[in-house]
Copies of this chain bind each other. A is one copy, B any other.
Amino acid sequence: MALSVGLLGFGTVGQSVARLIVERNDGLLALTHIFNRDIARKRVDWVPPSVVWTERVEDVLDADVVVEVVGGLDPARRWHEAALDAGRPIVTANKQLMATHGHALLARAAQRGVDLLFEAAVGGGIPVVRGLREGIAGDRLTTVSGILNGTCNYILTRMESAGLAFDAALAEAQAHGFAEADPTDDLEGYDARAKLCILARVGLGLDLSPLDVPCESIRSISDDDFVYARRLQATIRQVSRVAIVDDSVQARVGPALVPLTSALARVIGSQNLIVAGGTYGRETTFAGYGAGGFPTAVAVVSDLLAIARRAGGAPAAWPDTSQPTSLTGLQVAPYYLRLVVRDQPGIIAGLASIFATHNINIDAVLQEPGGTKERLPFVITLEACPTAAMDKALVEIQTLPFHVTPPLCLPVLA
A interface list, Cβ under 8 A from B = 16, 20, 119, 124-127, 130-131, 134-139, 263, 266, 278, 280-289, 294-295, 297-306, 309-314, 316-317
Contacts and interface: CB of A to CB of B under 8 A. Distances in A.
Contacts of A127: 131, 134-136, 284
Max chain B Cβ within 10 angstroms of own Cβ: one of A127, A306, A317: A127
A287 B284 contact: yes
24 contacts: A16-B280, A119-B135, A127-B131, A127-B135, A130-B130, A130-B131, A130-B135, A131-B286, A134-B302, A135-B135, A136-B299, A138-B299, A138-B301, A138-B302, A139-B302, A280-B294, A280-B295, A281-B295, A282-B288, A283-B288, A284-B288, A285-B287, A310-B314, A311-B313
Contacts of A313: 310-314
B317 A314 contact: no
Copies in the complex: 2
Contacts of A280: 16, 20, 125, 294-295, 297-298
Contact of A317 (B135, B266, B309): B309
B286 A138 contact: no
A210 B284 CA distance: 27
A299 B136 CA distance: 6
B282 A285 contact: no
Contacts of A314: 309-313
Contacts of A135: 119, 127, 130-131, 135, 299, 302
Nearest to A318: B309
A126 B284 contact: yes
A337 to B, nearest CB: 30
Given A301-B137, A314-B312, A286 B285 contact: yes
Nearest to A126: B284
A299 B278 CA distance: 12
Contacts of A303: 138
Contact of A286 (B286, B302, B316): B286
Contacts of A278: 125, 298
Contacts of A126: 284
A309 to B, nearest CB: 4
A385 B124 CA distance: 37
A316 B126 CA distance: 20
A138 B297 contact: yes
Contacts of A311: 313-314, 317
Nearest to A261: B266
A53 to B, nearest CB: 23
Contacts of A138: 20, 297-305
Given A127-B136, A131-B135, A134-B134, 19 more contacts: A20-B280, A125-B278, A126-B284, A130-B130, A134-B302, A135-B302, A138-B297, A138-B304, A139-B298, A278-B298, A282-B295, A283-B289, A284-B286, A284-B288, A284-B289, A309-B316, A311-B317, A312-B314, A313-B313
